[in-house]
Every structure is written in structure tokens, then in C-alpha cells.
Structure 1
Amino acid sequence: MQLIGVYFVSSMKNSLTSNFTQDLQARAEMLAVLAEQDLGGSGGKSVEDSVESLRARVNNLFDFSGAEIQVLDASGKVLITSQGSHADYVGRKNTQTVVSRALQGIRDNEEYMIDEDNVRKKVVAKPVISDGKIVGAVYIAASMAELYDTMQRINNVFLSGMLIALGLTAVLGVVLAHTITHPIRLMTKHATAVAEGNFAQKMPVFGSDEIGQLSSAFNYMTSRLRDALAQNEEEKEKLSSILSNMSDGVIATDENGRVILVNLRASSMLGVNNNEIAGRHIALLLGLDPEEADALITGVPASALLQLEPQDQSEPIVIRVTFTPIHRREIGITGTIAVLQDVTEQEEMEHTRREFVANVSHELRTPLTTIRSYAEALDEGAMQEPQLGERFVGVIRNETERMIRLVTDLLHLSRLDSNEAPLRIQPVDVEELLEDVADRFSFQMQEKQITDRVIIEQGIGAVMMDRDQVDQVLDNLVSNGLKYTPEGGSIMIEARRSGGLLAISVQDTGIGIPKKDLDRIFERFYRVDKARSRNMGGTGLGLSIAREIVKAHGGTITLESEFGKGTRATFTLPLPGEGREAQ
């Protein structure tokens, strides 16, 4: 009733005020139209006759209680007032804002005011326009006392109704309270018993009203709770089975970080048995600092990478530990679940990927930087000097070719990795193969005064292989020998049988490879002498491509070297009847 009363009274007030204002506006508009005939000078009337005519109209047509009507000339002087007590206003200027606005030609002028008797009044003013000129104004100030008296009576009616309703509600509440409280007390007693674990309690149903429906719902809840507890026990057994057989390790701790549960996978990853883990602090178990462990088990940060050396494993493993705090409402963190994932292989792959991306970026950046520098030099005037410009263009050409070789090698490696470069296997004469290789490099060997020998074991004829791919392997090995063999050295290419395989080796008398670098020599972009290899035009991918090609043929490639004395690279291919056959 209060809400309805507030809305109704507010709407009623707005409606009455709006109607009151509209009535005043209409009266003022009509009076302005009538006053136009007298103030505009039409009809040849004198000023006194016009004023008398206006006074008669105001007194006869527009006289209503509680209102004062004034007619003003163009300067704002009062010509007529409807209230005799204000007769002294005649001839004086009305300086109110609404009058000033009306004399400026503004039609919509209204405002509230409170007079000396503390009476609210609504004031409106309208301009009197004749032949497009403002010749005066009409001013009406009407009392709103009756309107507010009406509103007060309406408020009293609503207040009386509300008090009566409150009294009836109080009486009804006392009667209904006794009817409701008895079943509620009984239900409280049964709920306490159910909370203590006695699910045999049943609430009597007194009727089909709301209390009866609540009693039925309570009984249904009790039965459902009993079933839920039984199902919870079953789910607990399932969870225990899942924890025992899952591939990730799981460790549960209490709020102090003490281990209370661990599955078999976690104990296996840590290299200890369950009996040794229970009760230990997780910081000691995982080798964490106490401060770091406290931050982790509270969830900041949520995960960490750890390198562990289990007692039963020779190599360390990398595990990702994800900590999830266990929250209980109104208590906070009551424990932590730590999930252990063996990410050793993923971390190794990620390290390889990062290293590969860094190497590719470095290999591309170096020639690009050189090209940009020389291009800028050409742009700044080097082209005007033929010899200098020709040398700069040659450098740009060489660097561009080096990038092309790098990209070509990368594409070749990519095709080999994804098996998108199928081998075209065919019989190939080994003697012809090796002689062709020696012929291709004969000119370069003569320039460096390097002697070459080709040795082929007796009885080796045709072998099944992809001629182009094996040519690439031999070219790479012989090219490396040429690069790192000083003048006057020698290179020997040999083919022989070795345990049912064809072994082809390229041996040089070059500078050799340090022993520490032999294990990594087949890695992509790995160079023993990075600066020298790059200056010689190498991409660092040749041996990697050679290894992939040999691997695709079903063979292996090895490197033997002694620093300062030379290097021997050997790769094997299946002989006919021993491995790959013609396709």
C-alpha cells in the first residue's frame, strides 16, 4: 500500500499540476488574443478606452478566485490588475523574469513562487503581439492552495487505509504463527537427528498446505541424502582406483604442506615408496625451498618445472608440478593437490626447437644485414664508382646465393623429415658413381694442389640407391674435405663391403675436428669453427641432410677425426640381397 500510495499520489500530483498549468496557459493565451485588439490601436480607441475595455473583459471573463491578472504595456508597466489590493501596482513596472521573457516574444513562460503569505502560486506570462510587434504582455499568478489541499486529503485517505491494514495483518499474524510454529519445531527436531546421521527419521505430514509440502520435501531430502552418501562412498572407491592407475603423479597435502595421499605413479617418478612419503613435507620431497613451497601450495605461482634425480634412475627427469589449493567455504585453504607430469621429452624437443629457430634467425640475419649495408652504400653513391659498385654488387649476389642455399637446404630437410621426398631407387654402378664425384671436384682440387684417390673393393658392382640423393651426400662430404684440407693435402674416396653393407668413406688430411665436437657434428647448424665455416659459404645443414638421406636408405653415417690430422666420414648402404631391393 505504501508503494501504491507513493506512485498514486505522485501521479495525481503531476496530473493536477499539469491540468492547472494548462488551464492558466489557455486563459493567458485567450486574454493575450483579446488584449491585442485594445493594445494594438485597432478601432481608433483612445488609451483610456482601451484600458477600460480590458478591465471589463478581465473582470467579466477571467475573474477566478485566488488569481491575480495583470495586463502590461510594451515597456512592462502595469495597465490593469484584477486585485483591488494591488491597485498601486498600476503604472509601475513588473520586473519578474517571466514578464521580461514574455516582452522578448517568448511564449512558454512559467514558474513557481511563494508570496508573502507563504502561499504557493503558479505564474505564467504571455506576450501580446499585434502586426508582428510586441505591444504588451499578460501576467497571471494563480494560487495552488486548493490543489495542495486536495493532495493532503488523498494522503490522509491512504494513511488511514494503511494503518487499518497493518492492524488486520498483526491480528492475522498472531493467529497463523501458532499454526506454523508447531510443525517448524517438530521439523527442527527431525533435522537435528538427520544431521547426526539418523536417516530413519520421517516427518509427519499434517496436510496439503505449504507446511505439508515442506514436510514431504524434507522426507524426500532425507531419502536422497541417504542415497547420495552411499553413492559418495562408491565414487570414493572409483577415485581411488583412478588415482592408482593414472599416468600422472598425484600428491595431496594438508594445510601445513604434509603429504597425506600419493598415488603409485608419483612414488615411481620420485623413486621412493609410499610408506616413505606419507607425513613428509612436500618441500623436502620435491627439493623446494620452504618459502617457494609455501608460495606454490597457496597457488602463487600455480605451477613450476623441477629437475629431479630419482634414486632408481640414472638420468635426471624434468617434471611439471601443478599446485591446486583446496578451498573450503568460510575456512580457506585446507590442503593442496600437486599433479606431477613427466615433461622431459617435451622440454628436450622445446629446447631443440628454440635452438633451431635461433640458428635460422642468425643465419638469415647475417647475410640480410650485409645486403642492406651494401645496398645502402650503393644508394648513397657507390654506384657512381664502377669498380667499387661492381664489388658491392658481387657481395650482394654472393650473400643472396648463400641465403638461397640455406633456404634450399631447409626445404630439403623439411621434405626428408616429413617423408615428402620419396627415394627413386635404381641400380647404380658404384665405380661410376665415385669416379663422377672425383671428376666434379677435380678442378677445385687442382687449384689447391690436393691429390685424390678412388679405391673400390673388388667385386662391388651395382647397388640399389637413389643416385641423386647419394650424389648429394658424397658432394657434401668431399666439399667439406676440400674446405678444411690445406694445399698439398689429399682426399681418398673408398668403397668396400662391411658386414653385408656397402661402406663408402671420404678421408682427408685436413685440420680435423676436436673430440668434444664429434658428438654434435650432425646437429643442424652446428659448426666447429662458426666464423670460418660461414665465410666459406657453408650453411651448417650439409651433414644433417646427409644423415637424413642415408637414414632413408636404411644405412648409417659416422665420423672419425683426430684434431690436426684429418677426418674420415663413412656411410653405409644395403647391398643387393641384404637390404633394400629395387622398386
Structure 2
Amino acid sequence: MEGTSELKTIRGRMMLGYGIVILGVVLILGVLFVGTVRQYYYGSATQALSERAAVSARFYGQYLDEYSLGDQSRYIFENEITEDFTRVEVIDLYGNLVIDSYGLPPGKKTPTPDIQAALKGSAETWMGIDPDTKERILALSQPLMQDSRMIGILRYTTSIKRVDEVLNKITGAAIGVGLAVVCLSLLVSWLMARRIVSPIGELTTVAKYMAGGDFSRKAEKRYDDEVGHLADTLNYMAEEIVRNEKLKNEFISSVSHELRTPLTSIKGWSETLLSGGLEEKEETKLGLGVITKETDRLIGLVEDLLDFSKLQSGGMGIRCELVDINRLVEEIGEQFIASGNRHKLNIEVELGEGPLELTADRNRLKQVMVNLLDNAIKFTPEGGTIRLTTAREEEEVRIQVEDTGEGIQAENIKRVTEKFFKGTTRYPGSGLGLSICKEIVQLHKGRMGISSVFGQGTIVTIWLPLH
């Protein structure tokens, strides 16, 4: 069971794969090497015997063609050099031994394949066990010709015991080297697998802690490779989860505060009006005004939450119609002039030339611009200026809201469109307004950019495609 479990791991599969490949390569190379060496040694011995037999057969056939096979045999026996331990035999056409350099009696038959082939007229070699000496020999039989007719067989044999011993040593050495290579390769493969798997195991452990809610654990980046990048990604994910958790808690706290404040005002004035009666018209009017104002705040907050919920679930749709951006911006500017006067702000509207018509959801675009103007009014001190402009840029319509307010700190510019983010807690709000605006613009295939200089003002620009 343990072996089966090990094969299910990455390390086990890597070791098995590497082992099969390495063993296959070593076997192939080993077989080729041993085969080449055997071919070289046996081929050299065979070539030597073949050349010697061919030369002797031509010589005896050319210069001793008038002699009988017996006379030629005696001549061969008397003049053949045998100091190299090569055995020479002469055999007649019936396969009977005529003469032998080892002194064996004539008449003996040795029906080996090389002799059978030579009797048919072709030179042949054979390796096997000699029935007389019980040694492995290499034999070559060559036909003896006289006047284009075969009169016998000239056979050379030599012991290949030493050649076999050398080849056995070489084969043993090759096997040893192959086993060493396999073992070394498996060791290197195990180290490589461990180098890869160990960091993954550590990442798995850290991920389990993170899954349990412990984000203080960090994945260690050992190498700058894919596993190292995975460690970076895991750490980044943990940081994002912690940050989002913090933003969520801040959002819940902020929303709770935003809900509590108007509800407290509404409840307080309601009790005041109920306890004091409705005789005091001024007090009643003031109380009802506060209740109306705080109710509007609650409605705005609830609408932001509903829009955010729709965006998260993908349920926010847009109902497109032909919209003249200049007319829409002009209407919104007129709508906010009174609010600007109350806050002692100068609101300017500059429209681009000609009608800027595009297909869009009029109400959603109005919601975006109202939100942007509300923010501009909220963060611009008395005496400031808010400028609302439109223009055509190639195949796009540009809508820009510029204010001379307090601006946004540089480190917060990229985050102000994030969900729940609030750059400052001095003003009420859910932290969802700009995030919802960005999502609505993107639903229209547009884009939104924010630039700001802290202490000088902010510019929010929206680009919408004409087509």
C-alpha cells in the first residue's frame, strides 16, 4: 500500500518516469556498445582466418595443382606456420579428415556447418565447442581448387577462449558502468524531485493554515522559478484577503455608522414632534426637514448597496437608447446649480460643439455624473469651482468633472475606485460610489480615469465610444 501511495505522489511519478527513461537509454547504449565490441573482436579474428585461408588456398591451387590431395596435404602440413596456435586441417570431398596439424588420425568426420558449406563450394565460418579439445573455437573452411574443380577443404581453427574472457570482462565492466549510471541518475532524479516537491509541500502546509484563517503564515520563496512564483502568488493572495477583510470590516463599521446617524436623527425628531405636538409650526417644519434629509441619505445608501449587489451578481443591465450627452450634461449642471449656491461653489458647464449622440442607458449615465458631482461638492471648500465639460475625441465622447477641492493623496489614486475604499473618514459615504461608477462605464464599453494633485483638486474623465 505504501508503494502504491508513493506512486500517486509527484515525486513517485517523477522517479518512475525518470527511471524508465534512464534504464531504457542505458540498456540501448549498453547493448550497442557490447555488440560493437563483440563484432570488432570476433570480426578481427574471422578476417584474419579468412585472409590466411584465401591466400593459402590460392597458393596451393596455383603451384601444387599437379599434386594429389594427399601430397598437397603433406606439403601444407610441413610448410604451414603453427606457432600462432592455429590449427590446420585438410578434409576430402567426403568430409573425412586427411591430415591435421594436431596429429589426429585421418578418416575422422567433423560435420560442422562450416565444413558442410565448404563442401558446397563456399567459404564459411563457425563458432562452437570443439569435440576434441572441448574449447570454444572459431573455424573457417575454404574449398581447395584444382583446375577449377574442388578437390578438398582447407580448414583453419583457433581457440577464442581468450577473446571470450576479454569480452566477458568488457561486458561485466559495461554492466557495472551502466548500473552506476542508473543509480547516479536515479539519485540525481530523486534530488531534483525533492527540490521540486519539497517547496510544493511547504506551500500546501501554508495554504492549509490560510484556509483555516491564519494569514500570518507566509510561503517561503526558495527559487526564482514557477514554484517560487506560486509562493509569491500565494502570499499576494493572503495579503489581498487580509486587505479585503479589513475593508469589509471597515465597510460594515462605516455602513453601521451611516445607518445609525440618520436613524438616530429621524427617531429623535419623531419623538420630539410626538411629545411636543404639532402646534409649533417652525419646530415641526425643521423636524420634518431633518427627517426628509436623513431619509434621502438612507435611500441613497440603500441604492448604493443594491447597485453593488447587482454588479457583484452580474444582474445590473443597461437599457440603451439614443442619448445626447450635451443635453444630459446641461440638465445635470442646471440641477446642481442650486446645490452649488448653497455650498458657495461656482459650477461651470462647457459643452462640446454639435450634438454628441451615442447609444447608452440615460439613467445610468446620469447616476454616474450625479455621483461625481456629489463627490466634487463634498470635497471642494467654499469659493471653489467645479467644471463639467464635454468634447469629442475621434470616435469617443469625453465627459470631464474637474474641481478645485482638497484632492487625493498619490498613494490612494489607484484605490479610490476599489470597493469599500474610503480615502477619508471625515465625510459620510459607503465607499461604493466610484466603484459603481467605474462598473457602469465599463458596461458601456467605456473607461474612466482619475488624476489629482493633493491640495489642488481632482479631475475625473470618462470616455464613451460613439459606436
Q: TM-score, normalised by structure 1?
A: 0.41
The structure with higher relative contact order (CA 8 Å, sep 6+) is 2
